[in-house]
A and B are shown apart, each in its own frame.
Chain A
Amino acid sequence: MLALQHVTKLYGSVIGVNDVSVELGQGAHGLLGPNGAGKTTLLGLITGQLRPTIGTVRVFGERPFGNPAILARIGYCPAADLTERRATPQEWVTYLMRLSGFQPAAARQRADQALDEVGLTEASRRPLSTLSKGMRQRAKLAGAFAHEPDLLVLDEPFDGLDPVARHDLVNLVRHWARDRSLLVASHLLHEVEALQADLAVILGGRLVASGSAAEIRGLIDALPSEIHFRTDAPTELAERACRAGVVETLRIKGGDSLIIGTRQADRLAAIVAEAVQNGITVREVIAADRTLEGIFGRLVQLHRGIEA
């Protein structure tokens, strides 16, 4: 369905995407990365808004840029808020359907149906300016899939949604992906996991990992976790951990800070518990790299071949 070969996109001297090669088949795929990682640029290349500086992008076997036959098969929901304020969701989605080539009556019918699916029927005749960000997000989503594309591309689709709406739309999108293709970009791992999608992780314009959610988690688990301790006796705690053979990396900062990199967090936890029972005071334990940035950082380490 989608093939990128050594794709690089430069904006002058700024790199948007750096030497990305990936092939994705039909199904649901998640593009995961922090803000500024290059996700939107990559989606821009896939949806035919941008041309690669180097490399080739092929969607359904053809280049998407300036290719109406391919663009007709893609639905795109961008991350940017919709500031078309005067039109109503119904007018807006109808307009998009007419741009997709439908006759006015058919366009209106599709718009109504799509707005109904995203739960926006009641608000469909209110100006967009009077709607919440979440409602505008739904209107954008309706505009993206109302023409029944073969590939639905969503950029941060659940931003600004309340938990109930998020749940509903995750279900809607997951249902969509049963017999069609879906590509969702997000900086939230759980959002992409909820879609039961395969994952590709992008950072600094580079694709640093790809595979199923389980494979990505496996990769993450294969790298040492960095755990920060604040303790009165960092040296003694470090000695105990080293004797137990659970330490991959170790740093002592100041008088009370100890950072241990380990692949055996469970065993380290037991050692720390034992140390506490023996009178060592541990004031704080933080698994710093369980944050998203930490996970991305560790995937970058893996991508660069840094094992420990």
Chain B
Amino acid sequence: MTDDHSATAGSRHGPPLPGHWLRTAAAVMSFQLDRLLTKPRLAMALIGAIFPAAVMFAVIRTAPLERNMAVVMIYALIPEALCVLGLLVTMCPVVADELERGTWIHVAVRPGGRRSLLLGTFAAAVIWTGSVAFAGLLLTLLIAQVTQPLPLAVMFLGLIMLSCIGRAALFTLPAVILPKRALIASVGVAFVVEYLAGFLPAVVNQLTVSLRLRSLLVEWMAWRRELPIEMTLFVDDNPAVVQVVAVFILVGVLLAVASFILNRRQFPPSVEG
């Protein structure tokens, strides 16, 4: 009931400096990666990395696969299935996990803490899932014994990274809107948006990551001329750079919307902890 000082006068704490959010997001990323380094998580990662190779092994034991067929299988198993599954586990609990651990409040009261949590967890999910998927890719290429594996590894590395950042950004929305039901909501989003809308030959599929990845695969494998006419409906015929830029624009928009929502989320004390 004595003095009343403004936000700036007499304060040891000025407003956060430029680049503050990058530093804090890096702190969250490092902390989240550390959280992932547990035996159960590492075991899950190992299983995830072995899974596509095991499927490939089972297939080539029954009949030899030609190169293009192997590429399609690898595409379906790794940038699509493995990346999506990995991100469901690592990205979806971004808020729910903090609420459960009782750490949400500690983060929410830090300047820019909410946004840093989102971006840091996004980065950690991409790095973790991307690493598992890349390990899975190397194992699968080894098992598949395709000719010229190096260019394929480089191409799939690109697809894996785009798949991870695109899908991680997509899953941030259900994670911040429905934190307690994020996993179920994200599975729904994956099916409805990526695998239903993504295959609709309409404007809506332009907003999906799956269209961009398929189009990049067709472009980088030089399959466009060989595609049956009906299959051209499911790919975009713009050059690769447009597909990559489209993914980054989508990621930017999704993260901005998720960050906006998270910055305004309020959890009653009964929900926390």
Please list the residues of chain A having a beta carbon within 8 angstroms of any beta carbon in chain B.
1, 3, 11, 16, 23-27, 40-41, 44, 47-51, 60-62, 66, 68-74, 76, 78, 80-84, 86-87, 91, 95-96, 98-101, 103-104, 107, 140, 143, 147-150, 198
- What is the chain B residue whose CB lies nearest that of A40? B269
Judge whether B3 and A1 touch: CB under 8 Å: yes
Provide the B1-18 mask, 1 if CB < 8 A to any CB of A, else 0. 111111110011111110
**Contact A60 to B5, CB < 8 A, known contacts A71-B111, A95-B27, A149-B13:** yes
Is there a chain A Cβ closer than 8 Å to B61's Cβ? Answer: no
Is there a chain A Cβ closer than 8 Å to B66's Cβ? Answer: no
Judge whether A198 and B1 touch: CB under 8 Å: yes
Given A47-B109, A61-B7, A98-B23, 16 extra CB contacts under 8 A: A25-B2, A27-B1, A40-B269, A62-B7, A69-B13, A84-B102, A87-B31, A96-B106, A99-B107, A99-B116, A100-B111, A143-B106, A148-B12, A150-B12, A150-B13, A198-B1
A107 to B35, CA, bound (A): 19
- What is the chain B residue whose CB lies nearest that of A43? B269
A150 to B20, CA, bound (A): 20
Q: List 24 A-B contacts (CB under 8 A).
A: A1-B5, A48-B108, A48-B109, A49-B108, A49-B266, A50-B268, A60-B7, A61-B5, A68-B111, A69-B14, A71-B109, A72-B14, A73-B7, A80-B105, A81-B102, A82-B102, A82-B103, A96-B110, A99-B28, A101-B16, A101-B20, A101-B24, A103-B23, A107-B27
Is there a chain A Cβ closer than 8 Å to B101's Cβ? Answer: yes
Residue tally, chain B, CB below 8 Å to A: 46
Is there a chain A Cβ closer than 8 Å to B148's Cβ? Answer: no
Judge whether B15 and A50 touch: CB under 8 Å: no
- What is the chain A residue whose CB lies nearest that of B100? A83
**Contact A80 to B273, CB < 8 A, known contacts A49-B105, A61-B7, A73-B13:** yes
Judge whether A68 and B23 touch: CB under 8 Å: no
**Contact A69 to B15, CB < 8 A, known contacts A16-B268, A84-B102, A99-B107:** yes
- What is the chain B residue whose CB lies nearest that of A24? B1
A172 CB to nearest B CB, Å: 19
A83 CB to nearest B CB, Å: 5
Chain A contacts for B20, CB-based, 8 A = 68, 101
Is there a chain A Cβ closer than 8 Å to B112's Cβ? Answer: yes
A83 to B100, CA, bound (A): 8
B176 CB to nearest A CB, Å: 15
Is there a chain A Cβ closer than 8 Å to B264's Cβ? Answer: yes
- What is the chain A residue whose CB lies nearest that of B15? A69
Considering only residues 16-37 of chain B, those with a C-beta below 8 Å from chain A are 16-17, 20, 23-24, 27-28, 31, 34-35
A147 to B105, CA, bound (A): 16
B42 CB to nearest A CB, Å: 13
A159 CB to nearest B CB, Å: 13
**Contact A66 to B268, CB < 8 A, known contacts A49-B105, A71-B110, A150-B12:** no
Is there a chain A Cβ closer than 8 Å to B263's Cβ? Answer: yes
Judge whether A41 and B268 touch: CB under 8 Å: yes
Is there a chain A Cβ closer than 8 Å to B38's Cβ? Answer: yes
Chain A contacts for B38, CB-based, 8 A = 86
Chain B contacts for A84, CB-based, 8 A = 101-103
A16 to B267, CA, bound (A): 12
Identify which of A23, A66, A73, A82 contacts B264 (C-beta below 8 A): A66
Chain B contacts for A99, CB-based, 8 A = 24, 27-28, 107, 110, 113, 116
**Contact A83 to B16, CB < 8 A, known contacts A25-B2, A99-B27:** no
